[in-house]
Structure 1
Amino acid sequence: MANVAQSLVATGHTIRGVCYARPDYISQAIAGLSAIPPERVGPSGEYDYYGLAKRIHISYCDRVGRSAVRQLSVKQRGSAVILSGQLDTFDLLDQLVELALHAEGATHVEVHDVQVSSLELSQPARVA
C-alpha cells in the first residue's frame, strides 16, 4: 500500500477522502453511522432534519387538539425545541412545554414571543 501512495505522490496525483482503519473497526463505525440521532428521527422513524419538531407538533395535535395549537409554531435547533406564536392559556403553554421536554431527543425548550390570551393560572384547591 505504501508503494501505491508513493507512486501517486511522485506522479503529482491528489488523494482526497481516503480513510484507513483496522478491519474490525470498520464494521463498528458503519453501525454507528447508520444510527439516526434522536432529534433527527421523523414521525415514521425515517431520517428527517426537522423530525423532532414534526413529532412534537403531531403529539400536540393528538393531546390537546389541532385547534388549540393552530397558531403555535414549533421549530427546532438541534435538540432544542423552540415555541412561538399564540395560545389561549398559560396552563396550555405549561402543558406543551412538559410534552416537548418528554419527547425523545429534546434536551430543552425555548419559548420565544408566545402571546397568551389568558394569564390566569389554575390554582390548587384551598383547604378550609
Structure 2
Amino acid sequence: KPQLFSRKLYSEILDKTFSITVTMRTLDLIDAAYGFDFYILKTPKEDLNSKFGMDLKRAMLLRLASRDPNLHPNDQSKRQQIYDKYRGFEIPKEEAEWVGLTLAEAVEKQRQLEKKDPPIFKVYVDELVKQFD
C-alpha cells in the first residue's frame, strides 16, 4: 500500500498554493520535472490519472493562453518571466478550454456552444431565402 503525504505545492502560473495528498513517487516526479507546474503541464492525462490534476492543467493553459494581467499585477517583469518560462506549453485558448474535461463536461460544453445565437449573417441569409420563396 503506497504511503500518502499531505504537501503544500505552489503553482507559479496560478500564483496559488495547493494542499495535495501525494505519494513519494509523485514528489520524485515533480522534482524530476523541475517543479510542480512543469510536472502538471508535461505529464499526459493517462499518467496524471487525476481529475484535479487535469483541472489544474486546464487552468494553467488558459492563463498562459490569455496572458492574464492579474498574475502579479504589480510586477510586470515577474509576470513576463513566468510567461516566458512556460512559453513552450502555450496553446490557443479555444483548445485549452477543452483540456481535461470529462465526457459529460465536454458534451455539456458542446451543447452550450451549439445553443448560442446563430451568427447575424445566418439570420440575414435566412430572411433573404424567405423573400424568394
TM-score by length of 1: 0.27
Task: Choose 1 or 2 for highest CA Rg.
Answer: 1
